[in-house]
Amino acid sequence: MKVAELSRRSGTSVASIKFYLREGLLPSGVATGRNQAEYGDDHLKRLRLIRALIDVGGLSVATAREVLSAVDSPDSPHRVVGAAHATLSSTSARRNPDDPGWQAARAEVLSLIRQRGWFVPDDAPALDEAADAIAAFRSLGQDDLLMVLETYADAAALVAEKDVASVLSRRDPGDLVEAMVVGTVIGEALLNALRRLAQIDASARSPLARPVG
């Protein structure tokens, strides 16, 4: 199909398609003239993935490019989980690994993981991200909000087991990696939205909903 049809079928403007081509997120079509190229169903599929990662998953263009390159060179399935997480992880501009408060928070995360017997390598970026959040609670003087920690870990375990089960039927390594990336990124958006809905409900049922008297 021509770029105009690709645009129509994907609901993406021609300008955006040209941007994704230039930025290396979308592979080039087959050139059929000086300024014309032919695109296939793979391009349509890739374009849908790009839009989902950026618009729904909230990824930056640069992060989406890294994630897509992991999808294009599938590694062994289990190692891919770590690779997908690594591309998705942001190093917080704020993080100061020399700060005793941050070190204490990271030790707290490691101890939580070990108590639960979770198999997680010591250099998993998500360990640092969890430490960032815990250190932030403490630096804001909101230590008591951390009473949620064990419940969060329970919920995370529940969700993650289902996440992994949901991709196991994929045979092709490329399909498996794509399912993992979509499940991680879009699944995160879904879980966060459901948490907000459940918060509205929990708040409505709580003393917070009573008129101030």
Choose between 3 and 128: whose C-beta lies nearer to its own copies: 128
Considering only residues 59-98, where is the footprint of its own copies by CB under 8 A?
76-78, 81-82, 85, 90, 92-96
Q: Does 55 bind its own copies (CB under 8 A)?
A: yes
Exactly one of 35, 121, 123, 171 binds its own copies (CB under 8 A); which one? 121
CA distance 141 to 135: 10
The span of 24-32, 35-43, 65-73, 192-200 binding its own copies (CB under 8 A) equals 192-200
The least CB distance from residue 38 to its own copies, in Å, is 22
The least CB distance from residue 2 to its own copies, in Å, is 22
The span of 18-26, 34-42, 65-73, 179-187 binding its own copies (CB under 8 A) equals 179-187
Exactly one of 15, 100, 122, 169 binds its own copies (CB under 8 A); which one? 169
Exactly one of 41, 122, 197, 213 binds its own copies (CB under 8 A); which one? 197
